[in-house]
Amino acid sequence: MAKRAVYPGMFDPVHNGHVDVIQRSLQIFDELIVAVVANPSKQPLFSVKERLEMIDEATSELSNFRIVAFDGLLIDLVARERADCIVRGIRAVSDFEYEFQMALMNRKLRSTVETVFLMPHEKYTYISSRLIKEVASFGTSVAGMVPPIAEKRLTEKYPPK
């Protein structure tokens, strides 16, 4: 039986740490579903459609995964997709505390689903979408931190100064 996992996130924007976690997940699972959260209350910089497009282009050379948008509870998406596992990327201990709480809540809601924490390559551990947006908002290049498509879209939102 194929092992299917869901990797959820805002991906606002997708960065190289996200891509690294996707690649690592594909080495472990038979199929991966990258799930873009459509939560407008977080006031994302990019629309769901833009985030889906950026992930699609950034991962165009990869296979055995698909990208979906969702709102509502992650655990409901996991059930609809018949997934066995949730993948969460963690960069530091500070990420772990929140992710650990979420994993326990998801286990309480659906005991058959496991959560796996993956660390991106150490060269990406300082990268977060929040920091990427902050740096880009000053017109500073984020080349090397995000895929080229995300860099292009950020430059359109925040022209260089």
Query: Taking the domains of the chain in order of start, what are their residue ranges?
Result: 4-122
**pLDDT in the model for residue 92:** 80
Would residue 42 show up in a list of annotated catalytic residues for this protein?
A: yes
Full strand arrangement of the beta sheet holding 65-70 = 65-70, 31-37, 4-9, 85-89, 114-118
Main-chain dihedrals φ then ψ at residue 90, nearest 5 degrees = -130, 140
Choosing from 41, 42, 108, 111, the catalytic residue is 42
Give Rg (Cα) of the chain.
15
18 is catalytic: yes
Question: Residue 73: which pLDDT band, with cuts at 50, 70 and 90?
Answer: very high
Name the pLDDT band for 136 (thresholds 50, 70, 90). very high
Whether 53 and 156 have beta carbons less than 8 Å apart is answered as no
Is 137 an annotated catalytic residue?
Answer: no
- pLDDT(131) > 80: yes
Residue 50 has pLDDT above 80, yes or no: yes
Look over the chain and give the mean of its residue pLDDT values, rounded to a whole number.
Answer: 94
User: CA–CA separation, 18 vs 21, rounded Å?
Assistant: 5
Contact predicate 12/46, CB 8 Å: yes
Fold of the 4-122 domain: Rossmann fold (3.40.50)
Determine which one of 15, 18, 24, 133 is catalytic: 18
Angle of helix 148-157 relative to helix 129-137, nearest 10 degrees, comes to 50
Confidence category of residue 41, pLDDT binned at 50, 70, 90: confident
At residue 158, what is the residue type? Y
Q: Which of 91, 107, 110, 128 is catalytic?
A: 91
For residues 133, 67, 90 and 98, what is the CA-based torsion angle, rounded to 10 degrees?
A: 90
Q: What is the pTM of this model?
A: 0.94
* pLDDT(157) > 80: yes
What are 110's two structure tokens?
A: 């659906």
Q: Return the structure tokens found at 97.
A: 């505390």
Catalytically annotated residue among 15, 88, 129, 153 = 129
